Structure 1
Amino acid sequence: MGETTFAGARLLVVGGAGFVGSNLVLKLLEQNPREIIIVDNLLSSDIANIPADPRIRFVYGPITDDRILRELPDDLDYAWHLACYHGNQSSIHDPLADHENNTLTSLKLFNRLKDMSGLKKVVYAAAGCAVAEKTFDEAKATQEDAPVSLYHDSPYSISKLIGELYGNYFWTRHQLPIVKARFQNVYGPREMLGAGRWRGTVHTVWRNVTPTFIWKALNKEALPLDNGGNASRDFIFVEDMARGLMACAARGKAGDIYNLASGVETTILELARIINEVTGNPTPVDLRPARDWDRSGKRFGSTEKSRREIGFEAGVSIREGIEKTVAWTLANKANIARCMAQHDYFMAHL
């Protein structure tokens, strides 16, 4: 991708205060865009993630707000839709909130963008977990054309697929130049435990496995391994993800879909071992039974199509990425603790 792809462009990043969105914004700023409009309601993100830069315009609120949609400029060049109701567990706890923040966001945003004739590309954050085979046997790399089941573990997974379906509809009906980017398990700097508002469960604080493990390991706590750590995931460093999102916008084919993956299968037990080594945590892991809702087992994404068609490859190994994330966590420990502490009252009264 050329270094000037987004130079002088007007860009929209919905969910730009999140940890993936903010890393994307930082990468986009390097290409000297005219303006980056960030729309975020800070439901599961923190204002500290928004870079202080005169080229950034922050709009506080949900992208489902009709006023916000109406006031978006009509001369956008590129848009990234990264807003979501964070996490499977939160969506299970409150499916209606998931619908409001996962499904309606996609429908209303795409409906607004469809009439912008100068829009070059819209990138939608799809979910690899929604199409991965449910297995605890040997995993096979999930291809972009994997069959889609009608049975899902969470409203989050359902909502993410609905977003793809709406994207396909607006592409075929209105030629909205949408590219779907299927996320694997993203981790890295700027993901703050407890960021945002209380969502009714402990998973408001304890979110994805990597930041949870790093925080507990730095505090010499046992890392909890559901199902003995037997499950596996495709972990991709957030800066690689940001590059992949930019590649989707620059070279992705409208109407198509691409995995943004490392292509490497890592068990949760191996992840725990690496994190304990990097942090110097001597506490043995805490082996637990499998989560009652989770049938996702083992999975990782195929990288062939993304490498061939948009020239994207992840460059950061899991160990290097963990080392960088641990260093960032140590440097931002006070800010993370602040985000976690704002939920102390609710956590104590569960």
Structure 2
Amino acid sequence: MSDTTTLKNAKILIVGGAGFVGCNLCRHILDKHDPKEIWIIDNLLSSEISNVPEDSKVNFIFGSVADDRVLAKLPDDLELVFHLACYHGNQSSIADPIADHDNNTITSLKLFDHLKESKNLKKIVYAAAGCAVAEKTFEDPTATSEDAPVSLFHDSPYSISKLVGEMYGNYFWNRHGLPFVKARFQNVYGPREILGAGSWRGTPHTVWRNVIPTFIWKSLNEEALPLDNGGNASRDFIFVEDMAKGLVGCAQEGQPGEAYNLASGVETTIKDLATYINELTGNKTSVDLKPARDWDRSGKRFGATLKSKEKLNFSATVSIKNGLAKTVDWTKKNRELINQSIEKHEFMINQFSS
């Protein structure tokens, strides 16, 4: 297409670039798109500096985009921005709604306001949350489309703040012409998601954050995998390499003001997920059946993929079983790194369990 935005020789900012998705995106861009330079801003609240690629094109700034001194360090001729930073996870936001506000809502507002007069900016891609617009059901779900209705009742501050970020971006697009594109994430997994990355955030879910790295770690240690609601919940799992390609697709082909699902379109139950992982690791320990989480009303969900396929030419290509195999392999090779990350929170975890 003649209006395709190119990443070649571009100045790019990745907010949250030391995080799991951000560092994989950074590597993908370096490997496939030959940028001029990549700037990363990250406060390392839920990420590790070891994730930042050592490359002469990468410039790292420690801090938050809510800090004017950090924003002042950025070049004024940025062409592409990926805003991936967030206060990681529903349960951390439930434990500390104020911290969620400070790291999800204020950060988005400050960044958009800073970029509103930018003359060189071609796209800003925002990591929106598919869970925030998904139907709340434990019955048979339908694929969540980009124009799904938005409820005013939500399960977590995280869900609320991600929607507020969309709304602020929409405002700056309408008012100032900010080239704002919404990438609606489903459940991302894959290599470089380090359990316990960053600082303590008031809950054991600082460590046990997402289901796949948690299950893989416990399975490798021959522990019982905990199945909330008997494992009947389901999610749309998308491999991080596919997510990086989808984010680039949003930057290249996404239209300002529009939302695009980055999804596999495949519904996988947590029970099946546990079975796949235990088979890969050889874990024979029986699963641990638990009741449904008291805060979570979104039992089953998956994303519609048609719009992204037609408008971005994006489709996820890595199957759940192949993606899990790659993730298990990475986890085995990085057990020492992950164990060190978990151990730094051991005292606080023991305080919560005692």
Identity of aligned residues (%): 67
After TM superposition, list the pairs within 5 Å mapping 1:30-69 onto structure 2.
30=31, 31-69=33-71
Distance 1:238 1:308 in 2: 21
2:28 maps to what in 1? 27
Pair 1:147 & 2:174 matched: no
Letter in 2 for 1:27: H
Letter in 1 for 2:164: I
Distance 1:287 1:348 in 2: 23
Contact 2:10 2:35 in 1 (8 A): yes
| SS of alignment partner, residue 92 of structure 1 | helix
RMSD (Å), alpha carbons: 1.2
Pair 1:9 & 2:10 matched: yes
2:81 maps to what in 1? 79
| SS of alignment partner, residue 258 of structure 1 | strand
2:216 maps to what in 1? 214
Gaps (5+ residues) in structure 2? none
Distance 2:277 2:17 in 1: 28
Gaps (5+ residues) in structure 1? none
Distance 1:168 1:231 in 2: 32
After TM superposition, list the pairs within 5 Å mapping 1:148-187 onto structure 2.
148-187=150-189
* Dislocated runs of 4+, deviation >6 Å: 1-4
Give 1:4 deviation, angstroms: 9.6
2:207 maps to what in 1? 205
| SS of alignment partner, residue 181 of structure 2 | strand
After TM superposition, list the pairs within 5 Å mapping 1:1-350 onto structure 2.
5-30=6-31, 31-350=33-352
Distance 1:32 1:131 in 2: 35
Distance 2:127 2:30 in 1: 20
Letter in 2 for 1:113: L
Number of aligned residue pairs: give it: 350
Letter in 2 for 1:22: C
Contact 2:5 2:122 in 1 (8 A): no
Give 1:270 deviation, angstroms: 0.5
Distance 2:326 2:291 in 1: 30
Letter in 2 for 1:295: R
Letter in 2 for 1:48: S
Distance 1:348 1:147 in 2: 42
* C-alpha distance after superposition, 1:311-344 (max 9, x if no partner): 0000000000000000000111111111111111
